[in-house]
Amino acid sequence: MQAVGVIGAGQMGAGIAQVSAQAGYRVLLSDVSRERAEAGKAGIAKALDRLVTKEKITGDARDAALALIEPVEGVAAMGDCALVIEAATEREEIKRAIFADVGKVLGPQAILASNTSSIPITRLAQASPDPARFVGVHFFNPVPVMGLIELIRGLATSDATVETVEAYAQSLGKQVVRANDAPGFIVNRVLMPMLNEACFALGEGVATVRDIDLGCQLGLNHPMGPLTLADFIGLDTCLEICRVLHTSTGDPKFRPAPLLVKYVEAGWFGRKTKRGFYDYTGPEPVPTR
Ligand code: 3HC
């Protein structure tokens, strides 16, 4: 494959750029400014350094991967990319504006993919230059560690598009699951009700943050308790996904927990704001309830 364009150099976009470069793809990385794209690359350099220190990769492999990542200004340079992956903020109007921009340069065979966690692919495809060449490609956080990519096919997505992107995903060393364009796809459809229920349990005084998390972590053999995971994903993101599930299905089982809503209203988004169900200002996270 020719170059891969990645739009959005935050946690997800940088992770996607990193794993793509490690698999040998040339990557054009953009964000709202070249500085943000450069900052994304600097974060990738640190992540690769850690892998070298842990002797997971060689110094040469780190240098080769870094050399393949080019921070760019805007999307104008992405005209020769075979695949452009949008990993920008999870707001539909932002994604639509990006697709309009990319549409001006996207090659006639090139595929446009969105890493959206919950916005319907069929609807997003309407803002893309060619819905047949539009697909959902859902990575998981932290991208370099998580072994899964969910591929979501919109109503108009062609077989060729799904097959090409599946081959790309597999070339990153990830397993692929295919989902139809239903709210939450597979993983968030199952995960978010669990995280939301943990928020209900906390809000109703069933148990403390520590006990809910430890109970689920050890009782279910999960790597993180649900409240830790919600903080890790971002409480704003969790709430947004719960709202998409609730409004698009109309099913009250997906209604967001009042405590989750309150935390987001307070600006307590989890790790990224250093306050969520835990306080992250010290050396170790401290439960807040
Ligand atoms: N980036 C890169 N590597 C990371 C990392 C990060 N942010 N965090 C941890 N790692 C690596 C570590 O370096 C370590 O690598 P090693 O085994 O090669 O030395 C390995 O992951 C394990 O890390 P730690 O020993 O520090 O800590 P843990 O064993 O607690 O693992 C974790 C951390 C991998 C984050 C683990 O707790 C985990 O898997 N948690 C669940 C994550 C999860 O469920 N993600 C999906 C969220 S849902 C989603 O993304 C969808 C979206 O739409 C909401």
Q: Mind giving me the DSSP string for 45-105?
A: HHHHHHHHHTTSS-HHHHHHHHHTEEEEESSGGGGGEEEEEE---S-HHHHHHHHHHHHTT
Q: Which CATH number fits domain 3-180: 3.30.450.20, 3.40.50.720, 3.10.20.30, 3.90.650.10?
A: 3.40.50.720
Q: Is the dihedral of CA 225, 144, 153, 111 positive or negative?
A: positive
Tell me whether strands 286-287 and 134-139 are parallel, antiparallel or unpaired.
unpaired
Q: In testing the pocket of ligand 1, which one of 145, 175, 216 has its CB within 8 Å of the most ligand atoms?
A: 145
pLDDT computed for residue 1 by the predictor: 65
Q: Consult the annotation and say whether 236 binds a ligand.
A: no
* Residue 18, ligand 1, Cβ within 6 A: no
- 117 tagged catalytic: yes
Domain ranges of the chain: 3-180, 188-287
- 163 tagged catalytic: no
Neighbours of 207 (CB within 10 A): 15
Q: What is the CA radius of gyration of the chain?
A: 19
Residues 167/151, Cβ–Cβ less than 8 Å = no
Residues 82/112, Cβ–Cβ less than 8 Å = no
Q: How far is CA 244 from CA 43, 52, 184, in A?
A: 31, 40, 8
pTM for the predicted model, two decimal places: 0.94
- 128 tagged catalytic: no
pLDDT computed for residue 2 by the predictor: 80
* Separation of CA 145 and ligand 1 centre (Å): 6
Residues lower than pLDDT 70 in the chain = 1
- The pLDDT tens digits for 257-274 are 999 999 999 999 999 999
- The pLDDT tens digits for 130-181 are 999 999 999 999 999 999 999 999 999 999 999 999 999 999 999 999 999 9
* Separation of CA 92 and ligand 1 centre (Å): 28
Could you tell me which of 47, 20, 17 has the C-alpha nearest to residue 29?
17
Tell me whether strands 148-153 and 134-139 are parallel, antiparallel or unpaired.
antiparallel
* Residue 46, ligand 1, Cβ within 6 A: no
* Residue 190, ligand 1, Cβ within 6 A: no
CATH superfamily ID and name for 188-287: N-(1-d-carboxylethyl)-l-norvaline Dehydrogenase; domain 2 (1.10.1040.10)
Q: How far apart are CA 278 and CA 36, in angstroms?
A: 28
- Tokens for 212? 């809910």
Q: Consult the annotation and say whether 8 binds a ligand.
A: yes
Residues 241/141, Cβ–Cβ less than 8 Å = no
* Residue 228, ligand 1, Cβ within 6 A: no
Q: How far is CA 39 from CA 35, 116, 263, in A?
A: 6, 22, 29
pLDDT computed for residue 228 by the predictor: 98
Q: How far apart are CA 235 and CA 265, in angstroms?
A: 10
Provide φ and ψ at 211, rounded to 5°: -75, -35
Count helices and strands (H / E) in the chain.
Answer: 11, 10
Q: Consult the annotation and say whether 270 binds a ligand.
A: no
Could you tell me which of 133, 120, 264 has the C-alpha nearest to residue 180?
120
pLDDT computed for residue 91 by the predictor: 87
Q: Consult the annotation and say whether 272 binds a ligand.
A: yes
- 246 tagged catalytic: no
**Residue in 188, 196, 240, 246 annotated catalytic:** 188
Q: Consult the annotation and say whether 95 binds a ligand.
A: yes
Q: Which residues neighbour 261 within 8 Å (Cβ) at sequence distance 6 or greater?
A: 239
pLDDT computed for residue 49 by the predictor: 98
**Residue in 30, 114, 117, 128 annotated catalytic:** 117
